[in-house]
Structure 1
Amino acid sequence: MRKARLFDFSLFLSSLVVVAASIQVTPPGNTYIKALLLYWAFSSFYYQLRIISRSGNSNIDYAISYTSSFGIFAGPLGTLIFETIYRFTVFFYKKKTKTADPGEFLDTFYNIGSFTISGSMGYYLYQLLNPSFQSIPFGFWILILLVVSIITLLSSSFLVFTFALSGDIKTRKEAVDLIFRSRNLLDIGKVAITNGLLLRLLQMEKWDMLIGLFLLNYVVSLSFHSKSQSVQNKFERDKFEQMAYQDFLTNTYNRAYMDKMMKELNPSGEYVGIVVADIDKFKKINDSYNHAVGDRVIQHFAKTLQAHLQKDDILFRSGGEEFTFFLRNKPFEQCFSLIEQILENVNHHSVIAEYEDQSISVTYSASFGLYYYKTGQSISMEKGYVYADQLLLESKKLGRNRLSYKNELSLSAE
């Protein structure tokens, strides 16, 4: 971390050297001050729409940068002044809102140095290449795209280098991912078009149009940001709901989701086979080995059940070693056949588990209770689950490793 901080501060000192060595200072006073105030104000407003990405111990802010156009317009010294005012505005805002990282003060110097050097690079590239591009169709826009691409690559390289020194990235792949994570061709094109228009308006001193472009960019970005936030909020809600209904040992649904689904299926009027399954003599497995081995057996059983279920069927872990699943919209004969296949599969396979520094093979069996009926009538799903559980107990009494069942529809037909 100390090496990274030394690099950050050396980057700032290097930017001072670049500025001191520059002949170009700033445009005439009033023009520069107007541009400085406009860029500072809208950059500060736009900061609220940034995208934050976490990398190791640091936060990375991805937002559109106006450094390219301002650097070409104002030169190295003008860029340094702008970046210093803007970056310290961000620093004090973070301090006030208590969102600053522990090393935010030094990060501010890193940002000033990084963007001043990048902006200065853009200035000199533009001055050097502009005469050659003037005779090319759309030469100005090609040049701006080239300058923005080089500035983006340079800024990303600084970021990769400081993260490598701090240990936040350790491999070449991580470095490449960091550079290209949010800097694809479309993003670079957007930055190039925005900065190209801003530069043209600055050069012509069209202040009303400059403000209009800033406002348009802000409104469009605000709209996309709001939609992005809505999508993100929905994703987080869905994620938390999934977590609330998930059994983390087996990645199946839990008892809470089973209760929810029973309420939803009650009025559906569909044919359902409610199956309750239980691993036979599971306590003996735990006592003979340990709970880690027992967990492996539970996971194996869950995967076996899941492998036999179809798209609309739903599997739940309804107890310790007990599972319940709903076989939906199938004839009774298909439900019966499916469970027999599961029984055969369990009997012909064993579980490989780690026990006392060695791999062991554990065999087990399971018992099943199947209650088949049509929902939306006098018997609720909750009552059907009780019947299926009683049928499971009957299987246990009959010697385990078997299926006991009741087809409510065949009884009705009689």
Structure 2
Amino acid sequence: MVEFGKGEFLPMLKARLYDFTLFFTAIAVAFGLGDLTLDKNVFFIALFIYWLFSTLYNHLRITAQNGTLKFDYGISYSLSFGIFAGPIGLFIFETILRFTVYFSRKSSKTADEDEFWDTFYNIGAHALIYSIGYFLFQWGYQVFDKVPFGFWILMCILTVTTTLISYTFLSMAFYIMGEIKNVQQAVRFFRESNNWLDLGKTAFTNGLLLLLLTEQKWEMVVGLFILNYLVSRSFHSKSQSIKNKIERDKFEQMAYTDFLTRIPNRAYMDKKMSELNQAGETIGIVVADIDKFKLINDSYNHAVGDRVIQHFANTLKSYLSEVDYVFRSGGEEFTMILRNKSLRQTIDLVEKIRHGVETSSVEVDYQSEKHNVTITSSFGLYYFKVNEHTSMEKGYIYADQLLLQSKELGKNKVTVKDEHSRKVPVNAM
């Protein structure tokens, strides 16, 4: 279904003329070239079954948008019904179905402003498309009847053909509204909206339905519709669940990510600390910050200060393994959790990081010139077995106190304590 957004009056008028041209052309084809030769009882049984299940399937259709124009798509069963009932029967079916969808959306207050007028496009376009499919089937069946699997080959050809016609009609609507400018855009629109699996599913489902309709095996027709509905509903539910999970993960990532450095923030640090409290492993918790950071802001500006913080965060992160963590726990303060290492390995790693910060520089823009800024950093390392005597939260407090001792001893130092040591060793580096 096509829904036209707000636009200029002239394009909107042209769009409405286009809709009604398709609608009245469909009437002319149905009643001028068509002939309802089916038994009335057979026709009404088929009409009711197709109307019922097509109405049920409507809420499983996928909505997409191209600029200001919206359309929805999903598997269509009009090809098999059109071939079975002919253009007149098809027009009746499309009219009943499309107005059912319209009144359903009106009652649920989900209808768009132009829903009523767009209904005429949907009736006309679909009746025309699958009437063409009907005439092509009448001609093609004579050709493919003697070919092995000819019926299924013909159904595949008709599915591709009617799909191309459908997207031609849509592209024309988009062109009238100025959303598509040339043929290349129309081709890209078709490619992005279709895949061979969907076309194959449409072809074989409509082919099987047509065979069952011809034999008037109503129970099997209903069974096939129910099977398709259950499969489509299951796929739709799983897709919605995956979509919801992706959205939840995205929001969670936003909530737990520091906007400036793109590394985990204090909230995520608290969450991880709570989890690690249950692990009972031996870790090193490190609190670090940038020495004389206020001087950087005062000497340059806050934009330069932000760039320095980003550089510091990236430097810390570059030294850590996959099992380690780094968080921005304050303005220029960062906390690291180092795992699966001995005390000696942990001290050596922190010293390596300290040296890496000292010997690196970051290029910044200040007063239209490039400047290389170097920094130093101080570290407090507390090494302990979680919850033997100390929780993660207390370990963080101890590491923060060790950081203060590094500052008092002249900055650019690592101060370390093992929870079993009575004395705090200070590495003067």
Task: Establish whether TM, by shorter chain, passes 0.5.
Answer: yes
For residues 98 and 326 of structure 1, the distance between their equivalents in structure 2, rounded to whole angstroms, comes to 53
For these two proteins, the number of residue pairs brought into alignment is 413
- Residue 141 of structure 1, CA deviation: 0.7
Residue 290 to residue 174, structure 1, CA distance change in 2 (3 Å): farther
Structure 2 contact 22–125 (Cα < 8 Å) conserved: no
For residues 184 and 289 of structure 2, the distance between their equivalents in structure 1, rounded to whole angstroms, comes to 46
- Corresponding position: 1:66 with 2:77: yes
Q: Which amino acid aligns with 1:26?
A: L
Which residue of 326, 329, 334 maps to 2:345?
334
For residues 37 and 300 of structure 2, the distance between their equivalents in structure 1, rounded to whole angstroms, comes to 80
- Residue 408 of structure 1, CA deviation: 2.7
For residues 181 and 287 of structure 2, the distance between their equivalents in structure 1, rounded to whole angstroms, comes to 49
> Partner of 2:22 in structure 1?
14
- Corresponding position: 1:212 with 2:223: yes
> Partner of 2:274 in structure 1?
263
- SS of residue paired to 1:136: coil
> Partner of 1:25 in structure 2?
35
Structure 1 contact 44–90 (Cα < 8 Å) conserved: yes
Which residue of 154, 157, 160 maps to 1:146?
157
> Partner of 1:183 in structure 2?
194
Structure 1: state its 5+ residue gaps: none
Describe the superposition over 1:77-113 as per-residue Cα deviations: whole angstroms up to 9, x where unpaired. Answer: 4333322322222222222223233443344333333
> Partner of 2:148 in structure 1?
137
For residues 99 and 378 of structure 1, the distance between their equivalents in structure 2, rounded to whole angstroms, comes to 60
For residues 105 and 410 of structure 2, the distance between their equivalents in structure 1, rounded to whole angstroms, comes to 68
Structure 2 contact 22–121 (Cα < 8 Å) conserved: no
> Partner of 1:239 in structure 2?
250
Q: Which amino acid aligns with 1:373?
A: F
- Residue 131 of structure 1, CA deviation: 0.6
Residue 96 to residue 139, structure 1, CA distance change in 2 (3 Å): same
Q: Which amino acid aligns with 2:349?
A: L
For residues 157 and 388 of structure 1, the distance between their equivalents in structure 2, rounded to whole angstroms, comes to 67
Which residue of 379, 390, 411 maps to 1:379?
390
> Partner of 2:314 in structure 1?
303
For residues 405 and 8 of structure 1, the distance between their equivalents in structure 2, rounded to whole angstroms, comes to 77
Describe the superposition over 1:137-172 as per-residue Cα deviations: whole angstroms up to 9, x where unpaired. Answer: 111011101111222233234334544655666798
For residues 354 and 181 of structure 2, the distance between their equivalents in structure 1, rounded to whole angstroms, comes to 49
Structure 2: state its 5+ residue gaps: 1-6
- Residue 4 of structure 1, CA deviation: 6.8
For residues 173 and 404 of structure 1, the distance between their equivalents in structure 2, rounded to whole angstroms, comes to 65
Which residue of 93, 103, 124 maps to 1:82?
93
Question: How much identity, in percent, do the aligned residues show?
Answer: 54
- Residue 44 of structure 1, CA deviation: 0.5
Q: Which moved more, 1:168-177 or 1:268-277?
A: 168-177
Residue 328 to residue 8, structure 1, CA distance change in 2 (3 Å): farther
Describe the superposition over 1:269-292 as per-residue Cα deviations: whole angstroms up to 9, x where unpaired. Answer: 212111111122222333333333
For residues 130 and 68 of structure 1, the distance between their equivalents in structure 2, rounded to whole angstroms, comes to 15
Q: Which amino acid aligns with 1:144?
A: M
Which residue of 85, 102, 125 maps to 1:91?
102
For residues 381 and 256 of structure 1, the distance between their equivalents in structure 2, rounded to whole angstroms, comes to 14
Residue 35 to residue 264, structure 1, CA distance change in 2 (3 Å): same
- Corresponding position: 1:223 with 2:231: no
- Taking only aligned residues, the RMSD between alpha carbons, in angstroms, comes to 2.8
Residue 53 to residue 14, structure 1, CA distance change in 2 (3 Å): closer
